[in-house]
């Protein structure tokens, strides 16, 4: 069984737009409900599609990450922003944290390529994180081997926080699929990551430094997302041609896709208008 086989194409597409590492947790729904979420309600309070036994823990982590990102990016509480905006920024933050882990591991193993356009097949053993082609057993083995790497041992608080969300996301997916034996094994890897995070805190977690690290990572992700290019333009116009029928109007497409891609609604609207005239 492969971990993406049981998700529909539409679900994968929706989740990958916000954070390509997540395959189960709906980030937008998390931040639509998190403000009103009340812990310790015996599973009565919903939190997106997260199972009741994991909600309290994940509510705390999602709140903490959003607080750090929005306080440093905008100097405001995340609650002042639309849920989709919060989900986009948090998704970018998680991606950046995990991308850094992958890069560190590539440097550790000597497989790092300075030119990301090089499309060579990468051996599974050269990756730190699981990928879409792996079976459940292979994913769990990957998490097991991860704990033995220097990249994992030297990871900072925010990299581990992104990894923890990633691991909980996979745990939620296993529960959804009824793979309880594998889920129990996944809990062991989550416990290791939580232990490492606790160790960082116990030896002297400098909040100011860590907030700065969070800010730098979030700003780097935002800068990358907000850099318009011909490649982005071609991609979004192709998406318009393919998926425009799924949106209420052109304005609705520009609003939603513009936020996800980091392109201003007006700019995207002008691109589409010129594109339609050229047909």
Tally the domains of the chain: 2
Is 113 among the domain residues?
yes
pLDDT in the model for residue 195: 92
Nearest CA to 110 out of 160, 151, 153, 163 is that of 151
For residue 1, being part of any structural domain is answered with: no
189 and 273 inside one domain: no
Q: How many CB atoms lie within 10 A of CB 61?
A: 15
> Is the domain of 259 the same as that of 188?
no
DSSP per residue over 85-97, as a string?
HHHHHHHHHHHHH
List strand residue ranges (DSSP E) for the chain, in order: none
Is 3 within the bounds of a domain? no
User: Within this chain, do residues 132 and 261 fall inside the same structural domain, yes or no?
Assistant: no
Residue position matching structure tokens 């916000």:
18
For residue 18, the model assigns a pLDDT of 74
**What averages of pLDDT result for each successive group of 10 residues across the chain (279 residues)?**
40 58 91 85 74 92 91 85 91 88 80 49 56 79 86 87 94 93 93 89 56 56 54 86 88 82 78 86
pTM to 2 decimal places: 0.66
Please indicate, yes or no, if residue 150 is contained in any of the structural domains.
Answer: yes
Residue 239 to residues 14, 17, 84, 94, Cα–Cα distance (Å): 13, 12, 19, 24
Say whether both 238 and 259 belong to one domain: yes
Instruction: Tell me if 2 is assigned to some domain.
Output: no
Distances (CA, A) of 30 to 1, 16, 43, 258: 27, 15, 15, 21
Residues 124 and 245 in one domain: no
Tell me whether residue 51 is in a domain: yes
Nearest CA to 19 among 112, 69, 91, 67?
Answer: 91
Residue 236 sits in the same domain as residue 220: no
72 and 138 assigned to the same domain: yes
The verdict on 269 and 170 lying in the same domain is no
Residue 260 covered by a domain:
yes
Would you say residue 171 lies in a domain? yes
With contact defined as beta carbons under 8 Å apart, do 134 and 124 qualify?
yes
Tell me, yes or no, whether 213 and 262 share the same domain.
no
Task: Give the domain range for residue 244.
Answer: 230-277
Q: How far apart are CA 236 and CA 230, in angstroms?
A: 10
Residues 44, 153 share a domain: yes
Does 123 share its domain with 182? yes
* CA distance linking residue 218 with residue 69, whole number of Å: 6
- Tell me the backbone φ, ψ of residue 2, rounded to 5 degrees: -100, 145
**What was the pLDDT predicted at 4?**
36
> What is the structure's pLDDT at 50?
93
80 and 35 share a domain?
yes
């Amino acid at each position: 069984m492969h971990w993406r086989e049981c998700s529909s194409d539409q679900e994968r597409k929706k989740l990958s737009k916000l954070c390509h590492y997540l395959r189960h947790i709906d980030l937008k729904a998390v931040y639509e409900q998190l403000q009103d979420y009340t812990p310790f309600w015996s599973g009565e309070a919903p939190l997106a599609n997260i199972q009741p036994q994991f909600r309290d823990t994940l509510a705390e982590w999602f709140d903490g990450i959003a607080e750090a990102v929005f306080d440093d990016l905008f100097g405001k509480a995340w609650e002042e922003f639309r849920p989709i905006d919060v989900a986009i920024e948090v998704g970018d933050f998680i991606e950046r944290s995990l991308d850094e882990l992958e890069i560190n591991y590539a440097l550790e193993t000597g497989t790092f390529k300075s030119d990301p356009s090089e499309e060579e097949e990468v051996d599974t053993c050269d990756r730190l994180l699981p990928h879409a082609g792996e079976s459940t057993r292979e994913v769990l083995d990957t998490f097991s081997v991860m704990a033995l790497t220097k990249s994992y041992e030297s990871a900072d608080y925010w990299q581990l926080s992104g990894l923890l969300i990633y691991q909980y996301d996979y745990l939620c997916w296993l529960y959804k699929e009824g793979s309880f034996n594998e889920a129990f094994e996944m809990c062991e890897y989550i416990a290791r990551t939580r232990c490492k995070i606790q160790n960082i805190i116990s030896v002297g977690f400098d909040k100011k430094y860590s907030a700065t690290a969070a800010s730098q990572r979030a700003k780097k992700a935002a800068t990358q997302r907000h850099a318009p290019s011909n490649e982005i333009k071609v991609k979004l116009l192709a998406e318009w041609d393919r998926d425009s029928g799924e949106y209420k109007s052109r304005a609705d497409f520009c609003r939603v896709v513009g936020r996800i891609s980091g392109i201003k609604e007006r700019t995207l609207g002008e691109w589409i208008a010129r594109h339609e005239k050229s047909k």
